[in-house]
Amino acid sequence: MKKFGKITAVLCSAALIIGAAVVPAAAVSGIEYSFKGDEMQKAGYAEGKITLTMPDDTYYLYWADDTKALSGYYEIAEVEVKGGKGEFSFSDHNAIPAGATKLIAVKNKKTTDVKSADAVYDIPKSKRLKYTEKDLNYAFMNYSDIHIDQASSVYYRHSELHWKKALETAAKRKADFIVTAGDNITNAEGPAKEFDKFQQILADSPYTNPIYEGSGNHEIRAGKKKELLSTFVAATGLDGKSDTIAENKPYYYIEEPNTGDLFIFMALEYEYSPDEGDEFSDEQLGWLKNLLREHYGKNRNIYLIQHALIEGYGAGDDEDNYYTVPLNTNNKSTVKFRDIIQKYPELIWISGHTHIALKYGYNYSNMSDTSCNMIHDSSVCCPTLLNHASHKLSYIASSGEEYRDFTEGYYVQVFDDEIIFCGENLYHDKIYPTACYIMESCRQSAPERIETAEKKRVNLLVDRAVLGAYAEQIFTLPKSLECRNITVGDMNRLRDMSGKLLNSLYTFSSYDDYQALKHEYFKSEKSSDMDSAYKKLSKAYVRLLPYRDEGKITVYFTNTNGWDKVCAKLWSLKSDNGDGEEMTYLGRDADENEIYKITFNYHQYNHIQFTDGTDDEYSEEQVLTGKDNKLYTINAADPVAPYLCFENDYK
């Protein structure tokens, strides 16, 4: 793997130049571009050396179309021309963006139109990507190391702001879904509060499409790993299918519904420091092997999301070993994992863990064509910087106000023939050209409309016949089931119901059904077809209803304080029960202490404090988490709700 800081020196070395064929250079307006590498003849591959032959000065390079620099991209590089020469080199698998037809050099960043440029290079037509945004099969955001902590002050000062910005960027990009590569929370003092905040920010964001989270080492940072991984399963919903959730395993897979492309999410299973033990059980590694055997080479792309990198191997660390807690090859499961990925060269492994900033170029490797494609994430919460003196990574960006807008991730474009990972600053929604990486799609033909597991989705609702009876009994249906002649009043009542349901169930914001209702809720506000919008919103509303009774727990209190009255104050980030609710007296225990109970939904309230009803005396607050991940269908509904509409072929 070539590092950004070493690129120019390496490309200028005699050994590399002797072994590489060079596309005949075209010198236009002082710019010469010599393409190199195994893919030098292929469109979209930028690897090569750029030489400026111009008056001495500082110049900025940009990708451009026929009129101006590409919108939403930073400059490629700042090049100092001395003695009439200046150079810059792109690394292995760096990408020429879709839409780029020219490369320009300017002295003034404010003047980036082609006509005013100090030098212009016409990219050969054979090197231009033929695609535009309209040609996308799909696009997704790839994030890692979000690290929501208890109050954005334990470790990462800006983590909540950065998560909010990452979601806003995903919404602006119209990403079809989000994939995270682990460490969604910091888990400083247990995961409950942090996942609550993670979910609240997601629920309140403008992003309305699915999100699929991977598990990292911080999900099991402290204590009982099985219970903590169960919390991850419940909080994220994995692929949103009840049977997967019921298995209570933190690893799973999804299939992109239009292409069948496979996303495999592994999970660390040992402890906080991945270098200390075997992170992957034989069961998980066997599961991975079976998935790859079944799906590899079947006209689909396969992405492997696995948080921790391997020491001295591939993207993220390679031979330089700046990071102190990677997967250790002294552990058998690490070697087994490495042996697996080496057998599948077209696999795309996405890792995180180091937070290392995109500017250093530790982002892509295939170990000189001996392993799979490896892409390494930076961090949403806090990209790390290199401290060359100590040969370590610096987390200085975790707290400084000057790093408020420093948050990074990938916007991933999937076309018929190529996949491009576009590294970007998520705060400003702007792409770094040197952090854009291209690789071939594994699909040799146009994607078929195949039956994927997503399309075979297991519903959380009862079957169609029971659903119809359920609806007839609970809701009034004054109009046809086809949702015709819907009035503004009808729509407003359903929107009000939907908004309340979204608000009360915000801890399910990672689940597909939650995002689907949120999506239709926002769309319905602007729709000109009231009947159609009402029908879609009704369907999404009904799909989310079963979650309303999931998570009910009963909490007991032993009144050893001799209080005349016992109350429970309940709250979460979104709601509370005011001054508290009086608990129900049950009787006395063997020691003659009074026993009280209260039943509530821990997704609505996940904190509790017991009081004597006056607030003069009270207990320590407790954080509550659910232990049962099963989902149940409700048997009651709001009696004043409007009627709902159902499609005859409801699934």
Sign of CA pseudo-dihedral 633, 636, 637, 642 = positive
Q: Which of 216, 224, 214, 219 is nearest to 194 (CA)?
A: 219
229, 250 contact by CB (below 8 A)? yes
Does residue 59 carry a pLDDT above 90? yes
CA distance 475 to 641: 7
- Which residue, 227, 209, 225, 205, is CA-closest to 217? 225
Given a cut of 50, whether residue 219 has pLDDT beyond it is yes
- pLDDT, residue 448, reads 57
* Whole-number Å distance between alpha carbons of 254 and 542: 23
Q: What is the pLDDT of residue 548?
A: 75
pLDDT over threshold 80, residue 205: yes
What pLDDT, in 10s, does the model give residues 320-371? 667 778 899 999 999 999 999 999 999 999 999 999 999 999 999 999 899 9
Per-residue pLDDT at 156 = 87
Secondary element (H or E) of residue 119: strand 119-122
Confidence at 464, pLDDT banded by 50, 70, 90: very low
Q: What is the mean pLDDT of residues 37-56?
A: 95
Residue 129 confidence (pLDDT) above 80: yes
Cα 291 to chain centroid, rounded: 22
Spatial distance between the Cα atoms of 383 and 483, rounded to a whole number of angstroms: 50
Confidence of residue 25 (pLDDT cuts 50, 70, 90): very low
DSSP letter (8 states) at residue 134:
G
Please state the domain extents for the chain. Answer: 4-127, 139-440, 464-548, 552-623
- Please give the Cα distance from 514 to 216 (Å, whole number): 24
Three-state helix/strand/coil letters over 196-255: HHHHHHHHHCCCCCCEEECECCHHHCCCCHHHHHHHHHHHHCCCCCHHHHHHCCCCEEEE
Closest CA to 458 of 631, 607, 251, 270: 631
- Judged against a pLDDT cut of 90, whether residue 214 lies above it is answered with yes
Give me the pLDDT at residue 406, please.
95
Measured distance CA(12)–CA(471) in Å, rounded? 72
* Band of pLDDT at residue 173, cut at 50, 70 and 90: very high
Whether residue 597 contacts residue 584, with contact meaning beta carbons closer than 8 Å, is answered with: yes
* Predicted TM-score of the model (pTM): 0.84
Amino acid at 331: N
Q: What is the pLDDT of residue 633?
A: 30
Query: Which residues share a beta bridge with 53?
Result: 85
Where is pLDDT greater, at 274 or 249?
A: 249
pLDDT band at 270, cuts 50/70/90?
Answer: confident
Structure tokens at 121: 């290079």
Assigned token pair, 381: 């919460």
pLDDT computed for residue 482 by the predictor: 60
pLDDT for res 318: 61
- How far is Cα 634 from Cα 651, in angstroms, rounded to an integer? 18
Q: Which two tokens stand for residue 426?
A: 């998520």
Average confidence score pLDDT of the chain: 83
Task: State the Cα–Cα distance between residues 497 and 494, nearest whole angstrom.
Answer: 5
Q: Which residues on adjacent β-strands are paired with residue 302?
A: 262
For Cα atoms 417, 418, 419, give the angle at the middle one, nearest 5 degrees. Answer: 140
User: Ranked by mean pLDDT, which of 152-156, 182-186, 420-424 comes out on top?
Assistant: 420-424
pLDDT for 648 beyond 50? no
pLDDT of res. 489? 86
Per-residue model confidence as pLDDT tens digits over 380-405: 999 999 888 888 888 887 777 889 99
The pLDDT, as a whole number, for residue 639 is 42
CB atoms inside a 10 Å sphere around CB 400: 12
Specify whether the CB–CB gap between 617 and 611 falls below 8 A.
yes
Alpha carbons 610 and 602: distance in angstroms, whole number:
16
> Which strands sit side by side in the sheet containing 102-106, from one edge to the other?
77-81, 57-64, 102-106, 119-122
* 156, two tokens: 């990462």
Position 152 confidence tier, pLDDT thresholds 50, 70, 90: low
> In angstroms, rounded to a whole number, what is the distance separating the alpha carbons of residues 480 and 484?
7
| Helix, strand, coil percentages, rounded to 5, for the chain | 25, 25, 50
Look at residue 446 in the predicted model and tell me its pLDDT.
61
139 pLDDT exceeds 70? yes
Instruction: Compute the average pLDDT of residues 22-43.
Output: 76
- List, for residues 513-568, the tens digit of each pLDDT value: 999 999 999 999 988 898 889 888 888 887 887 787 777 777 888 888 889 999 99
**CB-based contact 154:186 (threshold 8 Å):** yes
pLDDT in tens, 408-432: 999 999 999 999 999 999 999 999 9
Enclosing H/E stretch for 414:
strand 408-414
Dihedral angle of Cα 491, 523, 508, 452, to the nearest 10 degrees: 120
- Asked whether the predicted pLDDT for residue 589 surpasses 60, the reply is yes
Q: Which of 507, 601, 552 is nearest to 196 (CA)?
A: 507
Highest mean pLDDT, choosing among 473-487, 564-578, 619-633:
564-578
- What pLDDT sits at residue 452? 44
- What one-character DSSP code corresponds to residue 68? B
The dihedral region occupied by 319, where left means phi > 0, alpha psi between -120 and 50, and beta the remainder, is: alpha
What pLDDT is attached to residue 120? 95
At 341 the pLDDT is: 94
> Which pLDDT value is given to residue 1?
37
Q: How confident is the model at residue 646 (pLDDT cuts 50, 70, 90)?
A: low
Contact by Cβ (8 Å): 106, 68: no
Task: Report percent pLDDT > 70 for the chain.
Answer: 83
Q: Which CATH number fits domain 139-440: 2.60.40.10, 3.40.50.261, 3.60.21.10, 3.40.30.10?
A: 3.60.21.10
pLDDT band at 634 (very low <50, low <70, confident <90, very high): very low
User: Which of the listed ranges 189-193, 447-451, 483-487, 611-615 does the model predict with the highest average pLDDT?
Assistant: 611-615
Work out the number of other CB atoms within 10 angstroms of the CB of residue 282: 11
Q: Measured at the alpha carbon of residue 433, what is the angle toward residues 431 and 437, in degrees to the nearest 5?
A: 100
What would you report as the CA-atom Rg of the chain, rounded to the nearest whole angstrom? 27
Residue 37 has a CB neighbour count (10 Å cut-off) of: 20
Give phi and psi for 101, each to the nearest 5.
-120, -15
Among 214-223, 265-274, 622-631, which stretch is predicted with the lowest mean pLDDT?
622-631
Least confident of 5-14, 148-157, 244-253, 460-469: 5-14
Collapsing DSSP states into helix, strand and coil, what is residue 192? helix
Mean pLDDT of 117-145: 95
**Percent of the chain residues past pLDDT 90, beyond the cut:** 53
